[in-house]
Amino acid sequence: VARADITTGLPRVEELFEARNPKSSALLADREGTVAIEQTDNGRVLSVTSTETDQRLYRLAAGWEPVLASGTPVVKDKTAIALGPDEQKLVSEIDGVFLLDDRTVYVRSEKEAKTDYSVPVAYQIFVEDGEQVVPGQQLTDGAKDPQQILLTQGRDEVQRYVIDEVQKVYRSQGVNTNDKHIEVICRQMLRKVSITHPGDTDFLQDERIDRFEFNQINEEILAQGGEPATAIPVLLGITKAALETDSFLSAASFQETTRVLTEAAINGKVDQLRGLKENVIIGKLIPAGSGFGVVPSAELTAGEQAALAEVIAGRAEAEPASREDYAELMDANLVPPAPMAGLELEDGEDAAAAEESAMADGIEDPSPILDAVAEDEEG
């Protein structure tokens, strides 16, 4: 009964996005091989046995002759497999068996590798004794550990697993969600790699770096004829991934503000403001929409400079408007009508009310602004 109580619903989604080890995780095969199930005093033991083959090939040049017969065992760095001019010796680089094919000699080594798994009593085994399994295959019931999937099957498979498991939760509640939203999250969870061999780069052993930057630097090293670095993918939960973003402004606004800002100051980091969050923090336009990629220029064009010079010199003159233009603007209530000529207003008296009173008394005098326009047109 306890085994049936598995994590479901939104807690399951959180467990996947945080890349946590499930409470009752399934056993996964870490290699390709043959299954053997054994009952011991301490419980059931499931083992996967595989044969690993290593081979070295040597092409004999003129003057070199093999000195062993096919099938002869050889010892690394001790057994000579061919003799050349001036009694030169070709020594095997690995332990194994010597094989001869015309002028080509081989040393082949086969080693048996075995992995044992202790299976709890409550677990149900999904494979049978003698069955062939592949890396990442589920051996018992339970939820798969995303970290183990990444280790045994790679980045693509763990992305597929997270997407499928999250969709199972939402679809069980009748919610349809496009895969692209989950894919964006998975991309951020898997954007880091851990350096295993720095090569000719400036990386350090076990350093975590953005995989796109890693690929770019490796391309530059290869173009220069150097040795590229090697790395393995890293799966981070969304909380950890947010703290390891390239923008220290974005990371500091999320969690561990003091630590993030202190490390940024010590390392002399520069925030390139490539994301949305950091641009919003400093009140800058986000790099998205119709303005994306458009850099505003502070320089004026030749026409703008000429217009500015005219304004500064006082040579810019407004084009005179006609009587009809003013009349249309006043009819549309876009400009207030001017008071009648000769109409004196008392303190605080409204011009419109005074005009209505004057017109009621039979005074009809056009607005002085219209008279000024008429005079300008006649002139």
The tens digit of pLDDT for each residue in 80-89 reads 888 888 778 8
pLDDT exceeds 70 at position 199:
yes
Q: Please report which confidence band the pLDDT of residue 7 belongs to, taking 50, 70 and 90 as the band edges.
A: low
Identify the pLDDT of residue 43. 81
Identify the pLDDT of residue 215. 93
Q: Please report which confidence band the pLDDT of residue 2 belongs to, taking 50, 70 and 90 as the band edges.
A: very low
pLDDT exceeds 80 at position 38:
yes
Alpha helices in the chain (DSSP H): 9-17, 146-153, 155-172, 179-189, 211-223, 238-243, 248-252, 257-267, 276-281, 302-313, 323-331, 351-360, 368-378
Residue 232 forms beta bridges with which residues? 194
Amino acid at position 326, single letter: Y
What lies within 8 Å, CB to CB, of 138 at 6+ separation is 26, 27, 28, 126, 144
Amino acid at position 178, single letter: N
Is 158:246 a contact under the CB 8 Å cutoff?
Answer: no
Percent of the chain residues topping a pLDDT of 70: 77
pLDDT in tens, 98-142: 888 877 888 888 888 888 998 888 888 999 988 999 999 999 998
Of residues 177 and 24, more confidently modeled: 177
| CA distance linking residue 233 with residue 238, whole number of Å | 15
Identify the pLDDT of residue 146. 93
What lies within 8 Å, CB to CB, of 133 at 6+ separation is 29, 32, 33, 34, 35, 48, 127, 139
- Give the start-to-end residue ranges of the domains of the chain: 33-141, 323-378
In Å, how far are 98, 329, 348, 355 from 341, measured between CA atoms? 121, 20, 18, 10
Identify the pLDDT of residue 187. 93
Identify the pLDDT of residue 232. 93
Identify the pLDDT of residue 376. 52
C-beta neighbour count of 226 within 10 angstroms: 13
Identify the pLDDT of residue 50. 87
Highest-confidence segment of 82-86, 149-153, 311-315: 149-153
Identify the pLDDT of residue 345. 52
Identify the pLDDT of residue 294. 61
Identify the pLDDT of residue 5. 45
Identify the pLDDT of residue 18. 92
Least confident of 135-149, 150-164, 219-233, 355-369: 355-369
Q: Please report which confidence band the pLDDT of residue 332 belongs to, taking 50, 70 and 90 as the band edges.
A: low
Percent of the chain residues topping a pLDDT of 90: 26
pLDDT exceeds 50 at position 370:
no
| Average pLDDT, integer, range 243-252 | 87
pLDDT exceeds 80 at position 218:
yes
Identify the pLDDT of residue 366. 46
Of residues 296 and 117, more confidently modeled: 117
Mean pLDDT (the chain, rounded) = 81
Residue 36 forms beta bridges with which residues? 47
Long-range contacts of 224-227 (CB under 8 A, 24+ apart): 226/199, 226/200, 226/201, 227/199, 227/200
Identify the pLDDT of residue 181. 94
Of residues 286 and 217, more confidently modeled: 217
Is 109:96 a contact under the CB 8 Å cutoff?
Answer: yes
Identify the pLDDT of residue 231. 93
| Average pLDDT, integer, range 225-229 | 90
What lies within 8 Å, CB to CB, of 226 at 6+ separation is 199, 200, 201
Q: Please report which confidence band the pLDDT of residue 314 belongs to, taking 50, 70 and 90 as the band edges.
A: low
Q: Is 167 helix (H, G, I), strand (E, B) or coil?
A: helix
Identify the pLDDT of residue 341. 46
Least confident of 65-79, 123-137, 199-213, 300-314: 300-314
Q: Is 373 helix (H, G, I), strand (E, B) or coil?
A: helix
Identify the pLDDT of residue 326. 61
pLDDT exceeds 80 at position 94:
yes
Q: How many helices (H) and strands (E) does the chain have?
A: 13, 12
Identify the pLDDT of residue 79. 85
Report CA dihedral (287, 293, 298, 304) to the nearest 10 degrees.
-120
